[in-house]
Amino acid sequence: MPLLQELPDKNIFQAYGILLLQNNHRFVRKLKKHYTPSIHGHKTWNSSYLLMDYFLHNETLGFEQNVLELGCGWGPASIFCAQHASAKVTGVDRDNEVFPFLEVQAALNEVEVTTKQASFEKLTKKQLANFNIIIGADVCFWDKLSKIHYNLVNRAFKAGVREIVIADPGREPFYALSEQCLSKYPDCELLDWYASEPEYFEGEILHIRNPDISD
């Protein structure tokens, strides 16, 4: 784990025990000359910090779990899981142009995150069966994604995934997904949450537990 008393370089900041690059860091500027992330994969989104704070306040993440992050982008939540809980993490994103940014930040934190390019609707039950927990931050921003994520939740639970945790600032597609999950799954919560690092940010946590798996 890197020492956080002194930042190793300028244009680096820390949040929840991990180091992250600001957009004006020289590594980011250099990467942007060669890679052009699309689908909003151009920065770290604040809902990642909601996930980090949430996991610090409960036992969901556990230790040495197999974690899948949907729409990982630059990978802050994946990096947190790998560092904080020694999780084996796979970051999935439709846009493979985000992975170089994730890999640089993972190296900065001395952790490894496996990457996989895939659309959410194409993740099969066989693939999902490899994971205990699925997480996502700021991944339900288009109307069509509500149905895609709902189908993925159903598919994941049939595959044996134990829990799914999704963070969002409170967009309408996310609330539509939440309503569907709250109606179907008895052990499902929609929680107001806030993060205090790197600055104060409010949002929502959707936590769904597989009804067919008991603790």
pLDDT in tens, 104-144: 999 999 999 999 999 999 999 999 999 999 999 999 988 99
pLDDT band at 7 (very low <50, low <70, confident <90, very high): low
Residue 18: strand, helix, or coil = strand
165-181 residue pLDDT tens = 999 999 999 999 999 99
Cα–Cα dist 43/41, whole Å:
6
Widest Cα–Cα separation across the chain = 49
pLDDT digits (tens, 9 = 90+) for 48-89: 999 999 999 998 888 889 999 999 999 999 999 999 999 999
Q: What's residue 92's pLDDT?
A: 96
Buried/exposed code over 82-95 (b: 16+ C-beta within 10 A; e: otherwise)? bbbbebbbbbbbbb
Percent of the chain with pLDDT over 90: 74
What predicted TM-score, i.e. pTM, was given to this entire model?
0.90
- Inform me whether the pLDDT recorded for 3 exceeds 50: no
What is the CB-side half-sphere exposure of residue 75 using CA atoms within 13 A? 34
Cβ count within 10 A of residue 142: 11
CATH topology of domain 12-209: Rossmann fold (3.40.50)
Sign of CA dihedral 194, 69, 37, 84: positive
